[in-house]
Amino acid sequence: MRGFTVWFTGLPCSGKSAIADRVADVLRNNGMKVERLDGDIVRQSLTRDLGFSKEDRDAFEKLGLPPEPFKNVAFYAPPEMEWSNVPLSGERKTGINVYKWSMKDFAKEGLIKFLFAEGDEGTSNLHYLIDRVSDKLKQLAENSPAEALLDEYGREINSLNQVLKMLQEILEERDKDKDRFKEWFGNATQATVYAFLRRFEHAIYYVKSFVHGEETKNINWRDHQLTVIDISDL
């Protein structure tokens, strides 16, 4: 596999290091060799805060990179709102691609785990419940035809809010349909389920614009020398 660099930029204390650590863990878990570098290390050791003097240009040349603009750049941003193909990118709209996940791909890839600070590793009751719901959503995706995501009764699920509503109904009707409650939540207590739903509802607010419907718009990494992805409003 050809190597690549993922560079996180943003304001101080905006979560860059935390996100980078999480991404590094995911890549390692997928068998990739990862080297995580802090920006201060890069500036102080690799490039030494290089400027445009003759000495600085000579030092940059030794890195083997020509001091010129990238020739092939792609820009990506989430949609400005649900069901929109207009990028959330301020005044500039042209030349910026929208990225989003369909409900079926979201379920199939187990992405619900990434909506929780607890992540996808751990042994707490909440971790157990996150894994349980994730596995059930994957099962729905496997059993759903074409590009749609259907629940156990064949009803289409078009948004994360519909997933939330379905889970809330399963909890509320636990005494009427104990089997369905157990299928989704296992042996979790009501308190744990409520905690899960509160966190899930909070996360939906930030990601609902790019997780919905039946269409996935992928980020095309391989066709560009540099890919810039906006996650600043997540």
Is the same domain home to 134 and 200? Answer: yes
Total domains in the chain come to: 2
What's the pLDDT at 212? 97
pLDDT at 47 exceeding the cut of 70: no
For residue 109, what are the domain limits?
103-210
Confidence band of 119 (pLDDT split at 50, 70, 90): low
pLDDT at 120 exceeding the cut of 80: no
What's the pLDDT at 122? 56
Q: What is the mean pLDDT of residues 126-144?
A: 96
Q: What is the mean pLDDT of residues 48-63?
A: 77
Q: Is position 6 within any domain?
A: no
pLDDT at 49 exceeding the cut of 80: no
What's the pLDDT at 167? 98
Contact 111, 137 (CB under 8 A): no
Q: Which of 68, 64, 72, 20 is nearest to 46 (CA)?
A: 64
Is the same domain home to 125 and 195? Answer: yes
Q: How many CB atoms lie within 10 A of CB 101?
A: 20
Q: How many CB atoms lie within 10 A of CB 112?
A: 22
Confidence band of 52 (pLDDT split at 50, 70, 90): confident
Query: Which of 32-36, 57-61, 167-171, 219-223 has the lowest average pLDDT?
Result: 57-61
Is the same domain home to 206 and 107? Answer: yes
Is the same domain home to 206 and 118? Answer: yes
Confidence band of 163 (pLDDT split at 50, 70, 90): very high
Instruction: Give CA–CA dist 229/126, Å, rounded.
Output: 31
Instruction: Give CA–CA dist 20/90, Å, rounded.
Output: 25
Q: Is position 234 within any domain?
A: no
Percent of residues, the chain, with pLDDT higher than 70: 92
pLDDT at 148 exceeding the cut of 60: yes
Q: What is the pTM of this model?
A: 0.78
Element (H or E) spanning 73, and its range? strand 73-77
Q: Is position 195 within any domain?
A: yes
